């Protein structure tokens, strides 16, 4: 299949959507990003990369980092991880505190902020610098040594982390957070501030399409069963409170971030990442969701 031609058609078709939506200006540093960017990269299991637009431009991956942090935490704890964070869709906004009160501080899933803070707490308990461990992990996954977090974005997030601090303190009151709250928040803000390009993120996620093995290095990241289950979690929880609509339109396991990126996988075939900073009301990339819907429509390839 000529994926490059398909991506070029998608790039042309999404032009009317570029600049629409709203950038994540509640993080001031992200509010400075031009909303008319668009990049898309698809990497097949044999390592071939098909890319268009701003596919090599680094951007703030934000909540996409939660996917890789969860993978790293599962490597450490295995199934015991699910004693500390649930596996159910939230139905609420990614930064909502509502369900924590009803459910005694147990987060619904690792992809909402509360769940990601628990995952970060796991990493902080095992690594001197959790964010550095995650950066090293991502470098191995995509085979690129230059990946790092953006200090200015991290500081911008930390200066506006009141709600995340409230969540962490609330969960700590239930014994859900073990490490000092400020250490967890610091690591979490740096984790979200990691910058990568569409090409790098698609390569990093490819182990999920390959039964848990990084194709070019042979490193086994996860066993086949946890790989399947993590992909299922992406499908049901990976795109905030719009997961049902996203699955209906796109039909792929995916994880989005308020930086405008979305990474998705098609098991046994490829991984793809799209970036466009303008967000819809749920915090997903407006043009990105449309691009992925057209990708599965034009290729006829999805998990369904």
The residues carrying an active-site annotation are: 63, 66, 188, 240, 258
Q: Which of 168, 186, 190, 188 is CA-nearest to residue 178?
A: 168
Establish whether 258 is an annotated binding residue. yes
Establish whether 153 is an annotated binding residue. no
Give the H/E segment covering residue 274.
Answer: strand 270-275
Q: Which residue has the tokens 């990269």?
A: 41
Q: Which of 62, 278, 33, 25 is CA-nearest to residue 154?
A: 62
Distance (Å, whole) CA 256 – CA 63? 6
Distance (Å, whole) CA 158 – CA 140? 27
Distance (Å, whole) CA 161 – CA 167? 10
Establish whether 210 is an annotated binding residue. no
User: For residue 252, what are the contacts with CB-CB under 8 A and spacing of at least 6?
Assistant: 235, 264, 265, 266, 272, 292, 296, 302, 303
Establish whether 217 is an annotated binding residue. no
Establish whether 200 is an annotated binding residue. no
Give the H/E segment covering residue 263.
Answer: strand 261-266
Establish whether 101 is an annotated binding residue. no
Q: Which of 212, 274, 199, 232 is CA-nearest to residue 111?
A: 232
Establish whether 240 is an annotated binding residue. yes
DSSP string, 199-234: HHHHHHGGGGGTTTB-TTT--B-S-HHHHHHHHHHH
Alpha-helical runs (H) found in the chain: 3-13, 65-77, 98-102, 113-126, 130-142, 151-159, 162-173, 181-192, 198-204, 224-237, 243-249, 286-299
Query: Which 3 state secondary structure label does DSSP give 275?
Result: strand
- Give binding residues for substrate as ranges: 63, 113, 157, 164, 188, 240, 258
List, as residue ranges, the binding site: 63, 113, 157, 164, 188, 240, 258
């Amino acid at each position: 299949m000529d994926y490059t031609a398909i991506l070029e058609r998608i790039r042309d078709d999404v032009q009317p959507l570029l600049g629409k939506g709203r950038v994540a200006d509640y993080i001031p540093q992200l509010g400075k990003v031009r909303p008319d960017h668009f990049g898309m990269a698809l990497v097949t299991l044999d390592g071939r990369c098909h890319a268009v637009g701003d596919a090599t431009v680094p951007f703030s991956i934000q909540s996409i980092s939660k996917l890789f942090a969860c993978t790293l935490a599962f490597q450490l704890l295995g199934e015991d991880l699910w004693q500390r964070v649930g596996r159910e869709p939230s139905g609420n906004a990614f930064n909502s505190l509502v369900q924590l009160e009803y459910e005694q501080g147990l987060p619904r899933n690792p992809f909402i902020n509360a769940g990601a803070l628990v995952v970060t707490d796991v990493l902080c308990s095992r690594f001197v610098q959790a964010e550095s461990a995650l950066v090293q992990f991502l470098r191995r996954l995509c085979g690129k040594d230059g990946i790092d977090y953006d200090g200015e974005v991290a500081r911008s997030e930390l200066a506006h982390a009141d709600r995340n601090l409230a969540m962490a303190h609330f969960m700590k009151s239930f014994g859900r957070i073990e490490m000092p709250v400020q250490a967890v928040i610091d690591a979490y803000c740096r984790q979200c501030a990691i910058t990568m390009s569409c090409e790098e993120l698609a390569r990093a996620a490819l182990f999920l399409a390959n039964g848990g093995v990084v194709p070019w290095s042979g490193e086994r990241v996860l066993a086949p069963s946890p790989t399947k289950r993590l992909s299922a979690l992406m499908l049901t929880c990976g795109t905030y409170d719009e997961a049902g609509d996203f699955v209906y339109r796109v039909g792929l396991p995916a994880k989005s971030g308020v930086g405008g990126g979305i990474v998705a996988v098609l098991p046994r075939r490829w991984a793809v990442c799209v970036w466009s900073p303008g967000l819809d009301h749920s915090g997903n990339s407006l043009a990105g969701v449309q691009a992925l819907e057209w990708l599965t429509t034009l290729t006829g390839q999805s998990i369904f």
